[in-house]
Amino acid sequence: MKIIFLFLIVSFCVQGYEIDGGRIHKPKKQQFHRLHDHQSTQGSIDDDFDCVEIYKQPAFQHPLLKNHKIQLFPTFMRTRMQNRSSYLGKANKDENSMRGCRPGKVPIIKTTMRQKLKTHPSSRSELDNFTQYSKSYPGHHFATLDTTQDITFHGASAAISTYNLSLHANQYSICGFWIQSGPPTELNSIQVGTGIHPSLYGDHQIRLTAHWTADGYHKTGCFNQLCPGFVQVHSQFSLGEVLKHSSVIGSEEKYLSDIKVKQDKFTGHWWLFGSLDHIPMGYWPKQIFTHLSKGSSLVRYGGETFAPPNTISPPMGSGRLPQELFKNSGYIADLMIVDSNYNEVEVNSKYMKPNCDTTSNCYDVLYHGYEGPFYRQAFLFGGPGGQCGI
Ligand SMILES: *[C@@H]1O[C@H](CO)[C@@H](O)[C@H](O)[C@H]1NC(C)=O
Ligand SMILES: *[C@@H]1O[C@H](CO)[C@@H](O)[C@H](O)[C@H]1NC(C)=O
Ligand SMILES: *[C@@H]1O[C@H](CO)[C@@H](O)[C@H](O)[C@H]1NC(C)=O
C-alpha cells in the first residue's frame, strides 16, 4: 500500500497554473503539491505474514472456489501488466523481507491472527438500512456519504486521509468505503479502508483493512483473508499491511491512502487496487457472492467505529469534528464511482446523501460537493466519539 504524501504550501500571492498529478488547475489562495514518495510511505508486510504458494492460498478452500481459475491481472489491465514482466513477484532475495514474497508466492496474514479474527464477535455491521444501524448492531456507529442513484455500480475509489488514533483494546475505527447489493438478510458487501483494530491485529497500527459478506453478516465473510474468499495475487501489497505514516493535526503534513475496487467486466470478480499507480492486489471472486456478482446498488463512503455496547465510542477520522475543516478533520477526497458502463467518474453531488447515526458532538458529516482541484469531490467526517448512543 502506498500513500501519497501531501505537502501543502500556503502561498497567498502566487498566480498562474500548476500541473499537478496530470490535472491542470489555477491555484487560488493556496497551492497544493502531491508528492509521490513511494519509497518511504508504502505500506509493508512484516512478521505477521507468511509467504504462501499462490495456488495454495486459503481462498481456494472455499467450497465455491474448488476449480477456480486464478486471474493474475484484471482483464482491463492485462496488456499493460503483462508487458511489465517484473510485476508479479519482483525478485526478492529474502523470503520474508519487508519487500514482499518471491515470485509465485503471496503474502497471507498468519494463522494465529487468522484464528483470532475469525472468532471475533464484532465483525458484523448492518449497513443496509441506515436508521437500523445502531439498533441492529449495538456498539457500532457510522458517519457516511451514500449514493442514492438507482443504477448499477461496478466499483468505487477514493483518497482517504490517514490519522493515527488512540483506541482501547476492544474498540475499532475504520475509514473507507462499502460496495453493497441485496436485501438485508442476503446483503452482499465489500468494505475496504484503513483501520485501527487492536483486538484483530494485536497492535495499534493503521492497516489496510477489508471485510466481506454474502449474507448480511450471518454465516459468510470475514476481515481480510481470514476466511477463504479474497484471492491474493500481488507478491508485496496485501490486506492487513501496515501504513507507516499518519497525518498530523494542525500541521500541513497530510497523508492519503488511495484505494480502488473495480469489477472486471469479463470475469465479474471485484478487484482491489492500492496506491496512485492502481496496483492490482487481488480480488473477491464473483462466485462467493450472489447479488454482487451482477454489480452493486449502493456505494457508501465514510467511517465505522465499534465499542462494546454501553461503553464510550472511540474516535473516528482524525478524532476532530468536520467543523475543523480539511486542516484538522478527517476526510475522504477524490470520490469516484465506476458506473453502469464501467467508466470511472466523479460522484454527482445531486445524488449523494450524508448520514450519521450519532449526535453531532460525537461524529458528524459535512459535504459541500466539489472542493476544488486538489480534493475534488470530497467530504469531512468523524469526531471524538464518547457517549454516542441516541
Ligand atoms: C504490450 O504487449 C502487447 C502484446 O502482448 C503489444 O501488442 C503491445 O504493443 C505492448 N505494449 C507496450 C506498451 O509495449
Ligand atoms: C428502514 O428502517 C425504518 C425503521 O424500521 C423503516 O421505517 C424504513 O422503511 C426502512 N427503510 C428501508 C429502505 O427499508
Ligand atoms: C500509531 O500509533 C501506534 C501506537 O499507539 C504506533 O504503534 C503506530 O506505529 C502509529 N502509526 C503511525 C502510522 O504513526
Tens of pLDDT, residues 53-66: 999 999 999 999 98
Atom 13, ligand 2: residue with shortest CA distance: 129
The answer to whether residue 377 scores a pLDDT higher than 90 is: yes
| Chain CA centroid to CA 142, Å | 15
- Within 10 A of 46 (CB to CB), how many other CB atoms are there? 14
Which of the four pLDDT bands, split at 50, 70 and 90, describes residue 79? low
Which of the four pLDDT bands, split at 50, 70 and 90, describes residue 376? very high
The answer to whether residue 307 scores a pLDDT higher than 90 is: yes
- Residues 179, 162: Cα–Cα separation, whole Å: 20
The answer to whether residue 384 scores a pLDDT higher than 90 is: yes
- Within 10 A of 31 (CB to CB), how many other CB atoms are there? 18
Please count the structural domains in the chain.
Answer: 1
Ligand 2 probe mutation, 127, 131, 148, most atoms within 8 A of CB: 131
Q: Is residue 300 part of a domain?
A: yes
pTM for the predicted model, two decimal places: 0.81
Average of per-residue pLDDT across 301-314:
94
The answer to whether residue 223 scores a pLDDT higher than 80 is: yes
CA of 79 to the centre of ligand 1 (A): 6
- Maximum CA pair distance of the chain? 63
- The set of cell numbers assigned to 301 is 463512503
* Angle value at C-alpha 225, between 107 and 44, nearest 5 degrees: 40
Atom 4, ligand 1: residue with shortest CA distance: 79
| Chain CA centroid to CA 67, Å | 29
- The set of cell numbers assigned to 390 is 441516541
Atom 14, ligand 1: residue with shortest CA distance: 83
The answer to whether residue 144 scores a pLDDT higher than 90 is: yes
Average of per-residue pLDDT across 80-105:
54
- The set of cell numbers assigned to 210 is 477489508
% of the chain surpassing 70 pLDDT: 75
Atom 10, ligand 3: residue with shortest CA distance: 205
- Residues 67, 85: Cα–Cα separation, whole Å: 26
Q: Is residue 5 part of a domain?
A: no
Atom 11, ligand 2: residue with shortest CA distance: 129
Q: Is residue 3 part of a domain?
A: no
CA of 296 to the centre of ligand 3 (A): 34
DSSP-derived secondary structure letter, 101? P
Q: Is residue 4 part of a domain?
A: no
pLDDT of amino acid 368 = 97
For ligand 2, say whether the CB of 79 is within 6 Å of any of its atoms. Answer: no
Residues touching ligand 1 (Cβ under 6 Å) are 79, 82-83
Average of per-residue pLDDT across 270-283:
86
| Chain CA centroid to CA 310, Å | 28
Instruction: Give the closest ligand to the alpha carbon of residue 198.
Output: 3
The answer to whether residue 33 scores a pLDDT higher than 70 is: no
Which of the four pLDDT bands, split at 50, 70 and 90, describes residue 135? low
Q: Which of 37-46, 61-70, 327-336 has the lowest mean pLDDT?
A: 37-46
For ligand 3, say whether the CB of 269 is within 6 Å of any of its atoms. Answer: no
Ligand 3 probe mutation, 246, 251, 256, most atoms within 8 A of CB: 246
Atom 1, ligand 2: residue with shortest CA distance: 129
- What is the phi/psi pair of residue 40, to 5°? -90, -10
Q: Is residue 138 part of a domain?
A: yes
- What is the phi/psi pair of residue 226, to 5°? -85, -5
> Helix, strand or coil for residue 51?
strand
> Helix, strand or coil for residue 50?
strand
Task: Give residue 109's domain range.
Answer: 10-382
72 or 99: which carries more pLDDT confidence? 72
Q: Is residue 195 part of a domain?
A: yes
Q: For residue 157, which of 23, 262, 279 has the smallest C-alpha distance? A: 262
Give the H/E segment covering residue 134.
helix 133-136
- Residues 165, 202: Cα–Cα separation, whole Å: 15
| Chain CA centroid to CA 193, Å | 2
pLDDT of amino acid 326 = 93
Q: b vs e for 311-329, b when ≥16 Cβ sit within 10 Å of the residue's Cβ?
A: eebbbbbbbbbbebebebb
Give the H/E segment covering residue 312.
none
